[in-house]
Amino acid sequence: MSSTVLLSATAVLGVLAGWALTVPVHRYKELRPMTPRDVGAEVGSTDAPPPLIRAEYREARCPECHHVYRAADVVPVVSWWRGCPGCSTRPPATVVLLQVWVPVALVLTVALLNGSWVALPYVWMVVVVSAIAVIDLRIWLIPWWMPWVGAAVGVVLIAAVSLAIGAPQAVVWALAGAAGSFLLFFVLWLVAPGKLGFGDVRLVLLLGLFLGWLHPLYWVYGLLFGALIGIAMGVGSLLVHRESRFPFGPALVLGALVAVWLHGPILASLGAG
């Protein structure tokens, strides 16, 4: 298969994946007590336990007319201009973001991995982490099960491709990357309660799995890029909203994907390219 055909097929897959994710991703709502959310207080104390706040799967509704969105209502491009079928309200920016981001990220990933079989697990990674990032961007929560399922399927794909290309040791690298990144963020979560959500700890396990597959210590680069992007997001939030807090998941996801896209020159500098 030529690279043009492969990338065209990847783009079509990305458009369909982004469309398929749109309604499920926007069905997640923030379930919390009927009080304004104070992220800093969610750690709780001995006298006041933390409030119950979690991501709950409900219906995706138009905020104006409460029309319940279905897949036919969020067709890429068409729905951006048509808006809600009930009242023509434009869709949330996260709808357009998701439907543009997924195909672009998939094409970049497949192209920069040279269209090899190694790209297959990363196709799964892009789809899963894109859904996680948009949910976190919307409600500042990551559904507890998504990183675990993403990692479980990732292990199967990574093991299958590693055996197929004659590199079984890479499976150990991937598991080491998952363990190392999880351990680091777990310690940070213990040391700085309220500054880091446990959803982020689960997320870096997923990201570390895929980054470790490239090199045993490559997860460090992904987390470094994520931290730099997070700093930029924090500064932007402070300047625009006068608020230093922001969802960290999207920064971690983007940092990991940047590391995947730049793997060639970075691994070459490590003598592993």
CA distance 102 to 98: 6
* pTM score above 0.85: yes
Cα-based angle 50, 53, 54 (whole degrees, multiple of 5): 140
Long-range contact set of residues 266-272: C-beta below 8 Å, sequence gap at least 24: 266/218, 266/221, 267/214, 267/215, 267/218, 270/215, 272/215
What six digits make up the tokens of 81? 């201009």
CA distance 26 to 134: 9
pLDDT (average), residues 191-214: 91
Could you report the per-residue pLDDT of 216-241, keeping only the tens digit for each?
999 999 999 999 999 999 888 888 87
Number of domains in the chain: 1
Q: Domain residues for 182?
A: 3-269
| Close Cβ partners of 11 (under 8 Å, ≥ 6 residues apart) | 103, 106, 107
Burial class (CB in 10 A: 0-12, 13-18, 19+), 169: exposed
Phi-psi region of 140 (alpha: psi -120 to 50; beta: other; left: phi over 0): left
Which region among 102-111, 135-144, 165-174 has the lowest average model confidence (pLDDT)?
135-144
Burial class (CB in 10 A: 0-12, 13-18, 19+), 100: middle
Which region among 130-139, 200-209, 214-223, 234-243 has the lowest average model confidence (pLDDT)?
234-243
Q: Which carries the bigger pLDDT value, residue 234 or residue 7?
A: 7
Could you tell me how far CA 105 lies from the centroid of its own chain? Answer: 11
What six digits make up the tokens of 61? 């509704």
Could you tell me how far CA 83 lies from the centroid of its own chain? Answer: 26
CA distance 78 to 22: 14
